[in-house]
Amino acid sequence: MRATNAVIVASALVAITTATCGCSPADDAESRDPTVIIHSTQFATAPTLITDLVPTPEQLTALYNATTNYSIREEDRALLLDGPSGLTLPIARAWGAQPRPQYIQFTALELVGPDKINATGPGRVEGLEPYPVGPIPFVRYNNEWKLSRAFVCGKLFLAAPQVCD
């Protein structure tokens, strides 16, 4: 009885091994595991709103660079431009879609009027040496400092004039 069970188990193992090996050629270099591509659903956070009477160059640097950071949600980038968000959303979308946005590090601020500041500093685009940038205007809108929508629209005039109508 034991010998019969052992033969049955051995035969079953041989059959399983033969079937498995017969289906998988030894020279098959391609993996049978499916490839999984994971896309993040997390967005970067926008910088904190600037409510100081006079912002610092570092605060304006973070604000400006966030406006072109496509990993920040469009709705959040729209809040960084002056004006109602319904008006600034298409502008933020076009502004953030630049193929090679420049990174700016503001080093100097100039108060040019009530609730208006111009910022200057070195800028750079990927692969290029730093170059002087500015003045770039920021305005105080609803007690928060924002990048001037008029400035952005001036830069988008040729690329996406319809968003600033």
End-to-end CA distance of the chain: 91
Task: Judge whether 51 and 143 are in contact, CB under 8 Å.
Answer: yes
Q: In sequence order, what are the residues at sequence separation of 6 or more whose Cβ sits closer than 8 angstroms to the Cβ of residue 52?
A: 59, 145
Between CA 44 and CA 115 the distance in angstroms is: 28
C-alpha closest to that of 151 among 139, 165, 141, 137: 137
Q: What is the pTM of this model?
A: 0.69
Give per-residue pLDDT as tens, 74-122.
Answer: 889 999 999 887 788 888 888 877 777 788 999 999 999 989 999 999 9
Between CA 79 and CA 112 the distance in angstroms is: 23
Domain covering 57-164 in this structure, CATH number: 3.10.450
Residue with tokens 């289906």: 23
